[in-house]
Amino acid sequence: MSVPPRVVVVTGGSAGVGRATAREFAQRGDRVAVIARDEQRLRETEKELQELAGAGLGISADVADARAVEDAAAQIESELGPIDVWVNNAMASVFGRVIDLSAQEIKRVTEVTYLGSVHGVLTALDHMRPRNRGVIVQVGSALAYRAIPAQAAYCASKHAIRGFVDSLRTELMEEGSDVSVVSVHLPALNTPQFDWSRLKFNRRPQPVPPIFQPEVAARSIVAAADHPGREVWVGGPTVATILANRLAPSLLDRYLARNGVKSQLTEDPADPDAPGNLFLTVEGDYAAHGRFDDRAKPRSLQADIRNRIAGLVARILP
């Protein structure tokens, strides 16, 4: 079943998973708008989207600002048309133990990662509910089910999003709405997050291996928008992590106490003066990929099979 071109919004769409996702939608001919903070990356992304699909829009806004998100949506509908798909992807993180975090840092991670998604959901609903159609894709993580050391603020925000979205989903079902909400939980990915997140260690961070390329996530996000269900678990490690936490959480606690921090750090020394993007944007040539191309897997067999099954089921049970 082919999907006609749609208007798609991707928050955090100028780099990492968001950039790969925006590109994946545009390659199908969708009109894509990205919301992010850095003007230079927005212009580069906008140009790329226009070359791929003939239409694309980059809007500078901080998702922590609810009014800014609302204004961005109004501009998108004015320039591209009614919003069909809204992808909440923007995030921020700090790599550090809880005792090393400040209240301001925790607040900022929460405002971007959790409240940024809330603002996106509320804005999308304002536009979709009157039309009784649309799909909200919430980008989550295996860490929405299993928190790990050194990323407490990020894990807490992802846990909070899962609760918020679960409540919303049942409310939409209660009113008989045709607006869909689907969560896509991701594995470790090769994105610039590990180059520009604030760091409290003296070694550079890394995704917990095995690492996948952001296009693995992008394909699953697009598939979820095409055939929305309840949740999508992307990659074998995501499935294993969630199930292991359900079956033996105390055992996983002990494993993470021994290995959780060191598995997130490389042997490379960190630059104590390196800028971070928590409060301000970071200049640089950042796009979808981070610095782990030589270690990242381009495909996930589990994700590919899941996406194909979803497509087949949609054809059989439209």
Residues with a catalytic annotation lie at 154
Q: CA separation (Å) from 147 to 151, 156, 165, 214, 253?
A: 8, 8, 18, 21, 9
Residue 69 and residue 172 in contact, taking contact as beta carbons nearer than 8 Å: no
Q: Which of 84, 97, 77, 81 is nearest to 135 (CA)?
A: 84
- Going from the C-alpha of 150 to that of each of 29, 59, 78, 100, the distances in angstroms are 40, 32, 42, 10
Residue written as tokens 């679960």?
166
Residue whose tokens read 């591209």: 80
- What's the alpha-carbon Rg for the chain, to the nearest Å? 19
Q: Cα separation of 95 and 98, whole Å?
A: 9
In sequence order, what are the residues at sequence separation of 6 or more whose Cβ sits closer than 8 angstroms to the Cβ of residue 249? 146
